Amino acid sequence: NEIYLTGLGGTTPDLPMTADGLEERARETLSAAAFAYIAGSASTERTARGNVDAFASRRIVPRMWRGASAPDARDLSVTVLGTTLAAPVLTAPIGVLGMVHPAAEPAVGSAAAELGIGSVLSTASSTPLEDVAAESGENWWYQLYWPSDDGVAESLVRRATAAGAKVIVVTADTPGIGWRPRDLTLGHLPFLRAEGIANYLSDPVFRSRLASPPEESAEALQIAVLTWVGMFGNHTLRPSDVARVREWTHLPVVVKGILHPDDARAVVDAGADGVVVSNHGGRQVDNSIAALDALEPVAAAVGDHATVLLDSGVRSGADVVVALALGADAVFYGRPWVYGLGLAGREGVVHALRCLLGDLDITMGLAGLSSVTEVDQSILYRS
Ligand code: FNR
């Protein structure tokens, strides 16, 4: 209504209203390196397209006259792992946001908090996690890229816990960076930049591994970056390692990047509270299964024992409804708000998130759904 009424006066929104529109505008506006970093995926990028196509192939059968259409008839709120959100949406963990916009991670945390949804802060943030925490309200989670140095991993988890994170999200699908031609073409790996390692540069255990403080000279900083690169991938992790995270924190732990039901069962049996069904936005294994196609089997495998989240390909309110119908408790929303950040800083993130939430709210009402808990497979078309 706000937008239509402003439109009556001849004023239209400055930013596009759709995920595709935001991507298009970002392509025209952002630096080539920043756009490549956000948009790029593994190899032929089929998986990234497949994620979106998988949503396009599911159809909602709207129901009429069920008392859901009045705006105040709807309740989108949900409690996930003890976190109560105004809608079943959290911003996905996205690293190195400093190269997208100087407002970076604090802008994302505060935008999500303003709208009552959650945010997940990446290990590879451009801003020390304590500074992001100060802006992110109550409902932020911390994502761990588990380095090969366990002392550093433990320190990061303890810092996030002390700073007020509500859940620890351990990413399983990135023991190394995928083959990403857009970044390779530009000859740059954003993760190698100092902007991507603020959490390490500010970490006492990581600093204890360095011969001299990174602030001392350009050379010392370079050594810190290389030290971090050297410990980025942990190739020894097994499902039983979930128990070690539990020793470092009292928070719920979820494992991100799960696509096979047996892997989901294994981490839940090992003590994880949940999984994030995700193929990292198609950035790791090309030709991998669309995250949405993996959702139903994973949800069936873990049953009621665990929380199931989904990301990779969510682009609209209807996509959120489809994910909930197939077994997700909530979704992580990725690239569209990153384009918003690049285009207009914090306001761009607020805009992108409001568009998703407005679309979700109206779609629910018009489909006859009053609450998130009501969304199940009966709302989907089965041919
Ligand atoms: C990511 N993703 C990611 N995941 C993670 O666990 N830690 C991270 O630091 C990052 N960084 C990151 C940067 C960029 C630019 C992108 C696009 C993605 C993956 C992210 O959390 C999520 O899985 C995907 O973004 C989901 O795909 P869509 O919906 O954004 O296409």
pLDDT in tens, 202-212: 999 999 999 99
Catalytic residues: 280
Q: How far is CA 252 from CA 51, 83, 207, in A?
A: 27, 10, 28
284: pLDDT confidence band, cut at 50, 70 and 90? Answer: very high
Atom of ligand 1 nearest to the CA of 336: 30
ipTM of the complex: 1.00
Pocket test for ligand 1, best of 31, 94, 285 (most atoms within 8 A of CB): 94
Across-strand partners of 89?
A: 331
Q: What percent of the chain has pLDDT over 70?
A: 99
Domain enclosing residue 176, as ranges: 2-60+77-368
Q: How many domains does the chain have?
A: 1
- Determine contact, residues 123/95, Cβ cutoff 8 Å: yes
pLDDT digits (tens, 9 = 90+) for 131-185: 999 999 999 999 999 999 999 999 999 999 999 999 999 999 999 999 999 999 9
The answer to the question of residue 374 being in a domain is no
What ranges make up the beta strands (E) of the chain? 78-80, 83-85, 89-91, 118-121, 140-144, 168-171, 253-258, 274-277, 307-310, 330-333
Distance 15 CA to ligand 1 centre (A): 22
The answer to the question of residue 123 being in a domain is yes
DSSP conformation class of 97: G
Q: Is the CB of 342 under 6 A from ligand 1?
A: no
Query: Hey, what's the torsion of the CAs at 259, 261, 264, 266, to 10 degrees?
Result: -130
Question: CATH no. for residue 291?
Answer: 3.20.20.70
The answer to the question of residue 157 being in a domain is yes
- Determine contact, residues 83/373, Cβ cutoff 8 Å: no
CA distance linking residue 306 with residue 365, whole number of Å: 28
Distance 125 CA to ligand 1 centre (A): 12
The answer to the question of residue 375 being in a domain is no
The answer to the question of residue 71 being in a domain is no
- Determine contact, residues 271/250, Cβ cutoff 8 Å: no
Q: Is the CB of 38 under 6 A from ligand 1?
A: yes
CA distance linking residue 110 with residue 136, whole number of Å: 5
Q: Is the pLDDT of residue 333 over 90?
A: yes
The average pLDDT across 29-35 equals 94
343: pLDDT confidence band, cut at 50, 70 and 90? Answer: very high
The answer to the question of residue 120 being in a domain is yes
Atom of ligand 1 nearest to the CA of 100: 15
- Determine contact, residues 248/161, Cβ cutoff 8 Å: yes
Distance 312 CA to ligand 1 centre (A): 8
Q: Is the CB of 278 under 6 A from ligand 1?
A: yes
Atom of ligand 1 nearest to the CA of 338: 15
The answer to the question of residue 373 being in a domain is no
Residues contacting residue 304 through CB under 8 Å, at least 6 positions apart: none
